[in-house]
Amino acid sequence: MNLNLRVHDVPIVLLHSPLVGPFTWRLVAEYIRKMGTEVFIPTLRNHDNSCCYWKDHAWSVSEALQTIPPHSSIVLVGHSGAGSLLPSVRDRLDHKVIGYIFVDAIIPRHNCSRLDQFSTPAEAEAFRSAASDGKLPVWKEEHVLDFILDPTTRRQFVHELAPMPLAVYEEKIPVPAYWPDAPCAFLHFSFSDTYLPFRKEAEENGWLTASVPGRHFHMLEGPETVGNTLLDLMERLLDQQ
């Protein structure tokens, strides 16, 4: 048990899915800051015609954390498609990642694309066929009515969405041989069946797991519940150091 390092000593880095934007985490970040823990929400940026979008995203995180002194301890958190990025992000940081938390997220597999990890080939093909001219469609408010109920929150969420290359979900993402190099945890939103197989995989890996009632973007509907659960998982990860 690490008696010297506690939650309030360790910045938490919240990564949004490439499909959406940083507002996804803003309400949770505000709550966690009130609880006394430093929070960063990097914006994942795509460079036009990039050969490796995952590299763009990893560098986006690295740039956003430049104010944190090198070799400082941090915890990385990834939601949804950002789960695939956590090893790549770790590989480009000078900081000491002491824990990883997957929030209703994909668990990385070496040289797998996000589409490779869809539940069925039919789901992957439906996602692929929605693209036009190599870009995925942008959600409008009517597309997210069922999982973001508050109209103001829904409007802010949709406002920052932009077309995304389908290649972001088709590209193979490597996982360094040393990963995971720190304890991992998985937070599942229990109304989200899509990510239940990843929660089961986390349990099989012997990771810490937690579940809260909610849909896939529950951080926008229950930021205090999600924030408290993340802080609890961080505390338990630190105890494993």
**CB distance 175 to 113 below 8 Å:** no
pLDDT over 70 at 1, yes or no: no
Which pLDDT score, from 0 to 100, does residue 13 have?
98
Predicted model pTM = 0.94
Q: What are phi and psi for residue 194, nearest 5 degrees?
A: -55, -35
Instruction: Find all residues with CB under 8 Å of 39, minimum gap 6, and list them.
Output: 11, 12, 13, 14, 29, 32, 33
Which three-class secondary structure string do you get for 192-218? CHHHHHHHHHHHHCCCEEEEECCCCCH
pLDDT 10s digits, 197-222: 999 999 999 999 999 999 999 999 99
Omega before 87 within 30 of 0, i.e. cis: no
pLDDT over 70 at 149, yes or no: yes
pLDDT over 50 at 105, yes or no: yes
Instruction: Find all residues with CB under 8 Å of 235, minimum gap 6, and list them.
Output: 6, 7
- The structure tokens 């080939």 sit at 121
H or E, element range at 186: strand 184-189
pLDDT 10s digits, 33-89: 999 999 999 999 887 776 799 999 999 999 999 999 999 999 999 999 999 999 999
- How many Cβ atoms from other residues are within 10 Å of residue 153's Cβ? 18
SS3 state of residue 104: strand
